[in-house]
Structure 1
């Protein structure tokens, strides 16, 4: 009889304890539905995960996702740091971007000059930028302007904004063409904008600085603007004009040479 009683007690324990344990562990506290997502058909009601109207919930099958863009059903499926499950696919969290191999979530850079591992961190924040020597910089043929990257547009080329011309100091986009601003003139090679000089004896590095004020008969010689030979500055216009005194002397010399030539010819013919 005692053996039978002992057997009945053992059967009771084997049946009751697992159910008790199941009941105990099925009650899952929560603050929102996301904390219940690992359970089948679960929602958070009164801070307890509720499944089909009861607190008896079962675990979902476990899926391990190791690539961004792969299918998932809950956040814990995404086995990638800084990732989450959204719209049934693993994606990087806000302020993170997927690496080119889709196996990591990298922090988006704070902008040009910020540290980086891969170019995706840079151009996700600043278009046309990349990672060079672990720093975010503008790509080739681009330049930085007010924290963004713009294409290099040289003087005389078509442009769409002042920012595109900003690689050349003292220039802007005027009538869809990169041009020097008032008070500046394009260098002979068109590579930079130089200040227009006030007039004669002003310091200069290029003839165009002089000709813009003093006319084509001026030049930059010995680092200063001056008129070319046989020219002088006319005070009223600041332009270089022909030196009339010099011209008169040259004209007189020419006349005397002609008279001399005529006399020599007459003398030569008379004696022969």
Structure 2
């Protein structure tokens, strides 16, 4: 009877502890906390934060199974994925990008007739290519024809040989299509009767293709001026006076480094204007002073729950006497 009572008391005292209490949370380095999800060492104890935020949560041991998500913990099971040993996360290797479901690493650039899943893969090789949704291969888009490994713009003029296209200038005859086509670096004018060269951002244009020759598939001709399409921004290229229209980085997008989440605006110093997001555990997340709205946009957090914002926008008198308030 006495033994049974002692056993019951022991079990009751054990149940009073949480699962976190039963874990060894003492530490001297961050490496000792890597066995926990989101763990790091703080004040000689392992603390854990929730995915995508700085909220503290009870520490849980990591699942040592192979990760099937790009951005998940190492070891990595996907082909062309590699482990970032510093962050202990799986990322796609150089020249590869994550698929839409983040379960595979896809080639960043795919030539015409190559296997693809996203049009962006094809457009890195040829601006006027797209990924055929059912065939899953790179093809030339409508009104363009493949010739010698690139997409050539077709004119609204029939032909059987190059002689028929000579009066137009900057064009050749493509026998398979039986139409005249613009030579490389030229596209048709607005009525597809002659070939014109590409123009840069803000220049006069008559068709989107004129802009896309220089600014990429993310550009268009709006009000007779070359500009970026909706949900795209102008990114300055490495070469002088060169730019390209890139897609805006959405909240939750796959990333490997914080630079993947930032958008460079066209100014003299090519500074980063959009610094609302950073890369956190393989995803573009809002920085600590920002909050997400509609699961899409990061906006400045002006709520009472943000002490940093309250301090930054406090009256000058309060900032001057803050030490007094703090220590009284």
The TM-score by the shorter chain falls in which range?
Answer: 0.3 to 0.5
User: Between Structure 1 and Structure 2, which shows a larger proportion of strand residues?
Assistant: 2
User: Between Structure 1 and Structure 2, which shows a larger proportion of helix residues?
Assistant: 1
TM-score (norm 1): 0.41
Q: Which one has the largest radius of gyration?
A: 1
TM-score (norm 2): 0.35
Which structure ranks higher in relative contact order (CA pairs < 8 Å, sequence separation ≥ 6)? 2
